[in-house]
């Protein structure tokens, strides 16, 4: 295969990636009960029913969220022309830095073997990585920009969302070009290259902030600005295509190890995001020197020592707790008098997609480790309670702080505090009940995140839809009763064993 004729290699890669996409699509279709080989009229009606139901659900939840944000930002009197340029500059800096910190390409083991053993150009792999990545970026930007426009009462929501999508695409492409130039070197990529990019951007923006503010004003929804952003994006894409052939595939091979290992799991990793996160954590910790040591403190101070050493070794865990606090804080917006009753559906979708947030993280890690679980001396229910107190208290405290900083029309009353506490308790107790149920049935613990989302969703139904906030502690009380039954069962079985 000739390196200077990428058309043939691109066609072969198109066939390979189409087959991969088709195999993954079959998994999801069969999960919802669709057989692509079935040509029966009832099967087609079922497909139409699913599409109609999904479309109605998305439209209703999205319109409810728009209405909610419109009323939440009613008290704000900040001109959007003043806020938008600094936000655009900060968003572009973050996007460029994050994109430049990654490899320009991530390949699985099959593509890596083909790329290393054949004279194929890296340009042939570019569309299969950059295009899906930027497509997801466009969808996310359109969603956030339209919601932000509703929050600040901008009358041109659609035009503003499109201009922001073009702006973020240009920033993402610029970061990709920087990453491609970084990986074009024959030497090993620098570990802290992202820090050099961030410092360079800040040193460039600070002295010339007026010029960059004028540049960022292109996100204003004007026809001339659409043309300018489109031309700039086209030029950046052309540069990216030209530079992509210079990417050193040896460096891409070293950077794609974790991605290739996850892709080798096949359809197993699709529903089990926690397995993927565990693999990522293990790979990240294996590449660094172990910081500190677990203090041998007696109970109950042992949990405090483990919590502190986890924050030191895995700072991402603290970010996860902050993100969970933001998730619970956003749920409190649904309690406003002007909120749409259907907006909680959108919150359920966001909560389900937030796969990293586990308040019972320590308990899940211990109980999903068969070697550690068989030697655990104390009752499992007590282990769950002791290991979850500090994360729950941290998230509860952060939620209150965010509530005070960002009231957004929700008063700080005892009844609203009861709802917030019930929401957090329902989340963590549902995780514990789901893990304990899997352990007693000798099955793999996988559904604890869905259980947490369902329990919190029921709390929101009582508070936001039925307007009975005093009923919200009922859900944590029921879950705690289930935990109490497990605890009594453990005590009875242990007493029989000793007798």
Q: What is the pLDDT of residue 267?
A: 59
Q: What is the pLDDT of residue 58?
A: 78
Q: Whole-angstrom Cα distance, residue 422 to residue 335? A: 14
DSSP string, 224-285: HHHHHHHHHHHHHHHHHHHHHTT--HHHHHHHTHHHHHHHTTGGGTTT-HHHHHHHHHHHHH
What is residue 299's three-state secondary structure? coil
Q: What is the pLDDT of residue 74?
A: 64
Sign of the dihedral defined by the CA atoms of residues 123, 127, 128, 133, in that order: positive
* Cβ–Cβ under 8 Å, residues 81 and 178: no
Q: Which tokens belong to 24?
A: 């993954």
Long-range contacts of 154-163 (CB under 8 A, 24+ apart): 154/80, 156/221, 159/221, 160/219, 160/221, 162/221, 162/226, 163/218, 163/219, 163/220, 163/221, 163/225, 163/226, 163/229
Q: What is the pLDDT of residue 21?
A: 77
Q: What is the pLDDT of residue 496?
A: 56
Q: What is the pLDDT of residue 268?
A: 54
Q: Whole-angstrom Cα distance, residue 312 to residue 306? A: 10
Sign of the dihedral defined by the CA atoms of residues 450, 453, 459, 462, in that order: negative
Q: What is the pLDDT of residue 240?
A: 92
CA-nearest of 49, 46, 184 to 103 is 184
Q: Whole-angstrom Cα distance, residue 310 to residue 290? A: 11
CA-nearest of 197, 157, 201, 165 to 181 is 197
Show pLDDT as tens, one digit a residue, over the chain (499 residues). 444 444 567 777 777 778 777 777 776 677 666 776 777 777 777 778 778 887 887 787 777 777 777 776 665 666 666 778 888 889 999 999 999 988 898 888 777 777 777 777 788 888 888 888 999 999 999 988 888 888 777 777 888 888 999 999 999 999 999 999 999 888 888 888 888 999 999 898 888 878 888 888 888 888 888 888 899 999 999 999 999 888 888 888 888 877 777 777 665 555 566 666 667 766 666 666 666 666 666 666 677 777 777 777 777 788 888 888 888 888 877 776 555 666 677 788 778 777 666 787 777 777 776 666 666 666 788 888 888 888 899 999 998 888 877 766 667 778 888 888 999 999 999 988 888 887 777 666 667 888 888 888 888 888 877 777 888 888 899 999 988 888 888 777 666 554 5
Residue 476 burial (CB count, 10 A): 21
- Find out whether the peptide bond into 300 is cis, omega within 30 degrees of 0: yes
Q: Whole-angstrom Cα distance, residue 46 to residue 61? A: 22
Q: What is the pLDDT of residue 329?
A: 84
């Amino acid at each position: 295969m000739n390196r200077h004729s990428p058309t043939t290699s691109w066609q072969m890669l198109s066939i390979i990636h189409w087959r991969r996409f088709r195999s993954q699509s079959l998994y999801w279709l069969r999960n919802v009960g669709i057989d692509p080989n079935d040509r029966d009229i009832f099967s087609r009606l079922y497909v139409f029913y699913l599409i109609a139901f999904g479309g109605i659900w998305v439209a209703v939840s999205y319109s409810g969220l728009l209405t909610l944000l419109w009323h939440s930002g009613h008290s704000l009197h900040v001109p959007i022309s003043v806020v938008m340029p600094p936000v655009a500059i900060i968003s572009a800096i973050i996007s460029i830095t994050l994109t430049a910190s990654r490899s320009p390409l991530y390949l699985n083991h099959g593509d890596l073997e083909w790329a290393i053993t054949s004279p194929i150009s890296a340009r042939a792999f570019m569309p299969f990585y950059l295009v899906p990545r930027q497509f997801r970026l466009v969808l996310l930007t359109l969603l956030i920009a339209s919601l932000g426009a509703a929050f600040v009462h901008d009358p041109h929501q659609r035009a503003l969302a499109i201009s922001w999508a073009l702006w973020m695409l240009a920033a993402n492409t610029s970061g990709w070009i920087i990453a491609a130039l970084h990986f074009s070197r024959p030497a090993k990529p620098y570990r802290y290259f992202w820090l050099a990019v961030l410092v360079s951007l800040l040193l460039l923006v600070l002295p010339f902030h007026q010029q960059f503010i004028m540049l960022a004003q292109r996100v204003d929804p004007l026809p001339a600005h659409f043309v300018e952003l489109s031309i700039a994006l086209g030029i950046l894409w052309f540069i990216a295509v030209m530079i992509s052939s210079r990417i050193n595939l040896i460096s891409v091979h070293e950077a794609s190890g974790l991605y290739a290992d996850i892709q080798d799991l096949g359809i197993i990793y699709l529903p089990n995001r926690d397995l993927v996160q565990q693999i990522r954590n293990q790979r990240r910790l294996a590449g660094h020197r172990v910081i500190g040591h677990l203090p041998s403190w007696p109970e109950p101070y042992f949990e405090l020592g483990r919590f502190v050493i986890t924050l030191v070794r895995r700072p991402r865990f603290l970010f996860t707790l902050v993100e969970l606090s933001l998730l619970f804080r956003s749920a409190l917006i649904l309690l406003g008098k002007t909120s749409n009753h259907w907006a909680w559906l959108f919150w359920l979708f966001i909560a389900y997609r937030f796969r990293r947030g586990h308040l019972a993280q320590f308990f899940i890690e211990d109980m999903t480790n068969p070697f550690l679980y068989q030697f655990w001396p104390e009752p499992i229910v007590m282990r769950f309670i002791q290991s979850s107190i500090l994360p729950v208290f941290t998230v509860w405290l952060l939620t209150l702080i965010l509530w005070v900083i960002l009231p957004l029309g929700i008063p700080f009353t005892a009844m609203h505090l009861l709802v917030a506490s019930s929401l957090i308790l329902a989340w963590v107790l549902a995780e514990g009940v789901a893990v304990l149920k899997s352990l007693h049935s000798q099955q793999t613990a996988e559904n604890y995140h869905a259980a947490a989302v369902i329990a919190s969703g029921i709390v929101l139904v009582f508070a936001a839809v039925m307007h009975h906030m005093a009923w919200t502690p009922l859900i944590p009380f029921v879950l705690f009763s289930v935990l109490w039954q497990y605890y009594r069962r453990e005590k009875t079985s242990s007493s029989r064993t000793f007798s």
